[in-house]
Structure 1
Amino acid sequence: MSKIEIKDIDFGLCYEGYLWMSNENKPRIFAPAAMIDRTLLEGLNPFVAEGYLYNKEQGVSISIKSLDGELCTHRFDVQESDFNSCEVTQVAYHSHRMDGKRLHFLRYWAAKPNEACLGMEVLTVEKMVFVGFKK
């Protein structure tokens, strides 16, 4: 995972996902994958309140959140092997205002010491990464 700027997003790729604009009552959905208009992410008003984008061919997942007037944007690199890893579980959530689409995430687990368990390692969620809509 790495924090990125909007200028770091490769707008030459097609992404599956959604962008929820601040002035709209439902998100703009990109399914099947499509090119994203850079100007949607560069404007101050309206702005992207929340967004998840995924490019399957390159294994690039982008998370966009508006927090206190700033866009918090992260890039995750997803390996094909992550979908079958014992350290990763697949989760699908029903969406809100997206015509019944199910959001597909990979949940990455990591063993970390826990004082409540006498310092023994317990599995904790390290990150959740969007990987498109569940088919």
Structure 2
Amino acid sequence: MKLNQLTDIPDYVYEGYVWLSDNDKPIVYKDVKFKPNEIKQNPFIVEGLLWAKKEGISIHIRHTGRYLIHKYDMNASDLSKDIKQYLPHKIEGIKKLKFKPVWKPETDPLCEGMEVLKMKALVFIGFVYENIK
């Protein structure tokens, strides 16, 4: 689901990160609420990934001249299978970022009109934390 502005982001407790345009590394969220009213026009959010585990909601934020904000409801998904993990970039204390591919059936003319699964999104579903000794 597409959201129009930052204030449309639900008031949940999130895990994830927000990277502001004037920072060299992102702000990490670990079980805290996202406060869109604290984000000004400058600096703006270049990129953000937020996961509300309790609600099963993932928020993706990009800024390409304007905000592109998407909300994904992952409650119907099996989050124990087909999880992709990627190394973080400049995110301290995080070992990996977890994503769940979302596949949707589509009719494919190259397959005699049968339905095939096509990946529609790669949805952020939290972090794998580094073991701190």
Q: Does TM, scored on the shorter chain, surpass 0.5?
A: yes
Alignment counterpart, residue 84 of structure 2, candidates 81, 91, 106? 91
Corresponding residue number in structure 2 for 1:72 = 68
TM normalised by structure 1 equals 0.81
Alignment counterpart, residue 51 of structure 2, candidates 50, 54, 59? 54
TM normalised by structure 2 equals 0.82
Contact map agreement 1:17 1:133 (CA 8 A) in 2 = yes
Deviating beyond 6 angstroms after TM superposition, the runs of 4 or more aligned structure 1 residues are none
Q: Following the alignment from structure 1 to structure 2, what is the Cα–Cα distance between the partners of residues 8 and 39? A: 11
> For residues 8-34 of structure 1, what are the alpha-carbon distances to aligned partners after superposition, in whole Å with 9 as ceiling and x for unaligned?
2233x2100000110111111113x21
Aligned pair in 2 of structure 1 residues 52, 40: CA closer, same or farther (>3 Å)?
farther
Aligned pair in 2 of structure 1 residues 48, 73: CA closer, same or farther (>3 Å)?
same
Letter in 1 for 2:69: T
Corresponding residue number in structure 1 for 2:22 = 23
Corresponding residue number in structure 1 for 2:36 = 38
Contact map agreement 2:3 2:9 (CA 8 A) in 1 = no
Contact map agreement 2:7 2:37 (CA 8 A) in 1 = no
Q: How many residues align?
A: 128
Contact map agreement 1:18 1:52 (CA 8 A) in 2 = yes
Higher helix share: 1
Q: Give the C-alpha shift of residue 80 in structure 1.
A: 5.9
Q: Following the alignment from structure 1 to structure 2, what is the Cα–Cα distance between the partners of residues 94 and 107? A: 17
Uncovered stretches (5+) of structure 2, i.e. residues with no partner: none
Contact map agreement 2:86 2:96 (CA 8 A) in 1 = yes
Letter in 2 for 1:52: L
Aligned pair in 2 of structure 1 residues 76, 23: CA closer, same or farther (>3 Å)?
same
Q: Following the alignment from structure 1 to structure 2, what is the Cα–Cα distance between the partners of residues 35 and 113? A: 40
Q: Percent identity?
A: 34
Alignment counterpart, residue 131 of structure 1, candidates 125, 130, 133? 125
Aligned pair in 2 of structure 1 residues 40, 92: CA closer, same or farther (>3 Å)?
farther
Contact map agreement 1:19 1:27 (CA 8 A) in 2 = yes
